[in-house]
Structure 1
Amino acid sequence: MGRRVPAVSRALDILELFLEGDGTLSAPEITRRLQLPRTTVHELVTTLAARSYLVPVAEQPGRYRLGVRTYQLGSRYAEQLDLAAEGQQVARSVAETCGETVHVAVLEGTDVIYIAKVDSTHAVRMVSAAGRRLPAHCTAVGKMLLASLSAEELDARLPEGELPAMTPNSITDVATLRRALAEIAERGVATESQESNADVTCVAAPVRDRSGRVVAALSVSVPMIRWSEARQRELTELAREGAGRLSERLGHHRAG
């Protein structure tokens, strides 16, 4: 591996500062936050501005914001993204950590479609497979995705009658589902206990794109024989972390 170039690292440090706050900074603020020499910051900012990576803020003399070149690079990156491929990579990493089955799914109508799956290292049969479609309300990923919809979008998707069941534990009443979705939206994580498979429970977290919109969900599925409150806490955190990592790959910037 080649040597890192300090000047390039400093220039990137400057650009990354603009991801925080209101997106504008002055050279003195950059100097103070990065603890760099004033002349170094001035030269780097001048160079970045000359290449349209930074532009002066017209109404705030002395301050800069990100320029059009950063948008062009981000747009090209987004064009090359493949949610299924990115999801498979993250799912594999999560599965290697916990040894359980990991899914990534998207919402289509009132169903979820699994776009990535990595099997557990244990011998457990799952009802899902990449490309398979299941009723969203019976799965953790589906409930997470339904909970992320606006009230108008949810109204348009849910039927007026009874919901289909996959197991005796599946939610079939729309009012009950709505209450469950409201709780999921508040918690930011969904659970499913023996609702799509009588022997399995799942936890799921939302995956966001660069605009912050929920575009998928990542879940960890566990057979009931290995389920406990402690395991639930552990896997919930792992699902959140995995979904966050996939979101970052899609260009989402997590606050803090």
Structure 2
Amino acid sequence: MPEDQSSQGADQIPTNLRLLILLEETVRAGVPVSPRTLVEHLGLPKATIHRLLATAEAEGFLQRDVDGRSYGPGQRLRMLAANTLSSQRIRTDRLAIMKALADEIGETCNLATPGRYGMVYLDRVETHWPLRIQLPAGTQVPFHCTASGKMYLSSLRPDRLNRLLTSGPLQPQTSRTNTDPVSLAEELSLTRRRGYSTDTEEFMDDMVAIAVPIEDNLGRLLSTLSVHAPKQRQSLVQLERSLDRIRQAADNLASLVSPVTEDDDLRS
């Protein structure tokens, strides 16, 4: 949202833009927002805000948070974001970056974004080796036992993370899956400090993986870039040696969706 939009007042926001601006403000916040917060930021009447929220919720663009009062992105808004990221020009550039990384490391690269119940693979570039792990684009994998999922969990506020980890039993995928919320929270704290996550045969036997965040210009996680490999070919320690190169690729991917400034536009 333009920086001065919230100060324009209700009479300055065209009626046909109010729902779009409300959605924009909701996702810009990065956390579930209350109707009161939206009234304060947008300057629209309380009744108007509630009407817009009801419409957005009914159509699936927003959904209520667990407190029953705040709102966050719904399924249709998440799909809109994913489809935007998958536009042809961006996807062509994105795949070129991922292919260069996969060729250099010699392992499969994955781009994943958080869904409602797990991480969803948006894109992947396969290794040339015949021994590979088949997880095609569109696959949804758990949060708690995958490198991409743990990277996302580490970005959450403590209260939201605690709700997610304690809302139900964490299902084991292998004998190495960490299903203890306390020790998993400790691992996520380490992940947050070091800026990358790992999977040591927690999601799939004989598979190791490493993931880094792809962030927006405000430092918020948009998606994750991960590399996984059969442990017969690369150990986790070997994958960690490629961490600088993976981070560089993640920065390049982030630049594809960074806002274009006026100066950038003049230089293009």
Identify whether the pair has TM-score above 0.5, normalized to the shorter chain.
Answer: yes
Which stretch of structure 1 is more off in the superposition, 227-236 or 147-156? 227-236
Indicate which of 225, 230, 238 corresponds to 1:231.
238
1:186 partnered with 2:193: yes
Provide, for residues 101-148 of structure 1, a one-character-per-residue CA deviation record: whole Å limited to 9, x for no partner. Answer: 000101123410000111111112314210010111111011001101
Partner of 1:15: none
TM-fit CA distance, 1:82: 3.9
Separation in 2 of the partners of 1:248 and 1:205?
15
- Residues 52-67 of structure 1: pairs in structure 2 closer than 5 A: none
Q: Are the equivalent residues in 2 in contact too, given 1:208–1:252 (CA < 8 A)? A: no
Task: State the shift of 1:227 in Å.
Answer: 2.2
Q: CA deviation at 1:151?
A: 1.2
The answer as to 2:130 corresponding to 1:128 is no
| C-alpha distance in structure 1 between counterparts of 2:236 and 2:203, whole Å | 20
In the other structure, the counterpart of 2:155 is 148
Of stretches 209-218 and 227-236 in structure 1, the one that deviates more from structure 2 is: 227-236
Query: Could you tell me how far 1:156 is from its partner in structure 2?
Result: 3.5
Cα distance, 1:179 vs. partner?
0.8
Contact 1:160/1:174 (8 A) holds in 2 = no
1:58 is matched with: none
**Contact 1:208–1:250 (8 Å) recurs in 2:** no
Q: State the secondary structure of the residue aligned to 2:129.
A: coil
Matches within 5 A, 1:17-56: none
Q: Which residue of 1 aligns with 2:97?
A: 90
Number of aligned residue pairs: give it: 174
Query: How many angstroms apart in 2 are the aligned matches of 1:236 and 1:113?
Result: 22
Deviates more, 1:111-120 or 1:209-218: 209-218
Task: Label 1:156 to 1:220 Cα distance change in 2 as closer, same or farther (>3 A).
Answer: same
SS at match of 1:158: helix
Q: Deviations over 1:173-203 (max 9, x none)?
A: 1112111100000000111111111111011
Q: 1:252 to 1:102 in 2, by over 3 A?
A: farther
- Residue aligning to 1:177: 184
Q: Which amino acid aligns with 2:178?
A: I
1:244 Cα offset (Å) = 1.4
Give the aligned partner of residue 9 of structure 1: none
**For the residues of structure 2 that align with 1:232 and 1:125, how far apart are their CA atoms?**
15
Give the secondary-structure state (helix, strand or coil) at the position aligned to 2:183.
helix
| SS of residue paired to 1:153 | helix
Contact conserved, 1:112 with 1:142, CA < 8 A, in 2?
yes
Distance 1:99 1:252 in 2: 32
What secondary structure, in the 3-state scheme, does the structure 2 residue paired with 1:225 have? Answer: coil
What is the aligned partner in structure 1 of residue 212 from structure 2?
205
Larger Rg: 1
Q: Secondary structure at the match of 2:131?
A: coil
State the 1:161 CA deviation: 3.7
Return the offset for 1:90. 2.4
1:212-236 deviation per Cα after TM superposition (whole angstroms, max 9, x unaligned): 2111010111110122465233222
Cα distance in 1 between the residues matched to 2:236 and 2:218? 34
Percent of aligned positions that are identical = 29
Cα 1:195/1:225, change in 2 over 3 Å? same
Distance in 1, matches of 2:255 and 2:183, equals 33
| 1:99–1:121 Cα contact (<8 Å) kept | yes
